[in-house]
Structure 1
Amino acid sequence: MNEKDRLNGLKGWLLLVMVGLFISPLRIIYEVFPAYYSFFMTEGVFEYVTTPGAEGYLPYFLTFLVSEMLFNTLLVLAYAYLLYLFFTKSYLFPQLFIVVIFASVIFIPLDAWLGSFFDSSISIDNPEIKKEMIGSLISACIWVPYMVVSKRVRATFGVGGSNKD
């Protein structure tokens, strides 16, 4: 058995990647979407902050909220697609995984900064947001190099093209 055959497969550290691929979208759905639901379903809240002339009107808040919802929805769909690519051992998996990781690293502080214009508790200084930013940065520092240099990743997903030899 040669080294490529021995390393080929969803084993080793790739199992931790798989766990993260399952947990990440569930965490987004569990933590983020209930806030959207309560915002839209609590009577009067939506109108209070989005109606020009209302006491609590926040210009551009609706644009911010819709953009945030769209990004989080796309992120959940990206994780679902990553799971598909992971289990089919597609050569696209490592590259798309890296893109999604970097998108998260960029989105969290950008979202906090933009959110701070509407609510001072949504700032980069918020301990929960700092925790999210540090977590995504640590994740990127671990998994991006792993996807780039790992022999197992190369053997399992192929490099530079389809691995359906």
Structure 2
Amino acid sequence: MTNTNTNTNTNTNTNTNTNTNTKKLEGLGGWLIVVAIGLFVTFFLVGRQIYDLLDMMFFSGTLEEFININSDYYIPYIDKLFLFELIGNTLLIIVNIYLTYLFFKKDYKFVNTFIFLEIFNIIIIVFDQILYQKLLAQFFGSSDLKDLFRALIHAGIWIPYMLKSERVKNTFINGRPTDANYDSISR
């Protein structure tokens, strides 16, 4: 009879030790560090694009050359393309600021906002190319294809990560509604 109790206690202790040794993945670590770096890099990359657009539109006179009907470089409606790019990039930076705030707050809205930003970026690239094609009869040069391909690969990696990662599910929980039905409809 003592032999049976000893075996039962040993099995119970082994199961307890196994459960305490598994670490719950949560917090801004692991691959989320790469996401954080990407958020900061986006500020600089998109910020640089906005700066270049503003320079061309208002300071260097480049846009003036393109919209002057008497210029050799006249391109009809190119100002609309520049304006579209400026608005699109400004929206990207605003959403990125909000996304960074949600990231460090560990807010549950981060995941959906991140996915929205990934998809929005692809849409901006495609619409930009459609405008280029309409205005310049130029559609998807090698640089443009590289940008689109890069955005698709980025989204193809990070969107599934955001949806499937245990760390993401355990980290971005702040502000989540406490309704018992929330979990059944959220994912």
Q: Same fold (TM over 0.5)?
A: yes
| Corresponding position of 2:184 | none
TM-align CA RMSD: 2.7
Query: Please, which of 33, 36, 58 is the counterpart of residue 18 of structure 1?
Result: 36
Contact (CA 8 Å) 1:82, 1:96: kept in 2 or not? yes
Match of 2:12 in 1: none
Separation of aligned partners in 2, 1:74 and 1:114:
18
1:91–1:162 CA contact under 8 A, matched in 2: no
How far off is 1:3 after superposition?
9.7
Larger Rg: 2
Residue 113 of structure 1: how far off its partner (Å) = 2.1
C-alpha displacement of 1:57: 4.3
The reply to whether residue 6 of structure 1 matches residue 21 of structure 2 is: no
**Greater percentage in helix:** 2
How far does residue 63 in structure 1 lie from its aligned partner after superposition?
2.3
Deviates most, 87-96 or 106-115? 106-115
> Gaps spanning 5+ residues in structure 1: where?
none
- Paired positions, count: 159
Q: Give the 3 Å change call, closer, same or farther, for CA 159–138 of structure 1 in structure 2.
A: farther
Please state how far the C-alpha of 1:67 moved relative to its aligned partner: 1.8
4+ residue runs over 6 A deviation: 1-5
**Aligned-pair identity (%):** 31
Equivalent runs, 1:17-96 vs 2, <5 Å: 17-43=35-61, 45-51=62-68, 53-55=69-71, 56-96=73-113
Higher RCO, Cα 8 Å, sep 6+? 1
Structure 1 stretch displaced more, 95-104 or 127-136: 127-136
CA deviation after TM superposition for structure 1 residue 110, in Å: 1.7
Asked if the contact 1:4–1:155 (Cα under 8 Å) also holds between the matched residues in 2, the reply is no
Q: Which of 85, 97, 105 pairs up with 2:114?
A: 97
Other-structure match for 1:157: 172
Q: Which structure 2 residue ranges, 5 or more long, are not aligned? A: 1-18, 179-187
Change (3 A) 1:72 1:4: farther
Does residue 123 (structure 1) correspond to residue 139 (structure 2)? The answer is yes
Using a 3 Å threshold, how does the CA distance of structure 1 residues 10 and 3 change in structure 2: closer, same or farther? farther
Q: Which residue identity lines up with residue 38 of structure 1 in the other structure?
A: M
> TM-score, normalization: structure 1?
0.82
CA displacement at 1:94 relative to structure 2: 0.3
Partner-residue secondary structure (3-state), 2:76:
coil
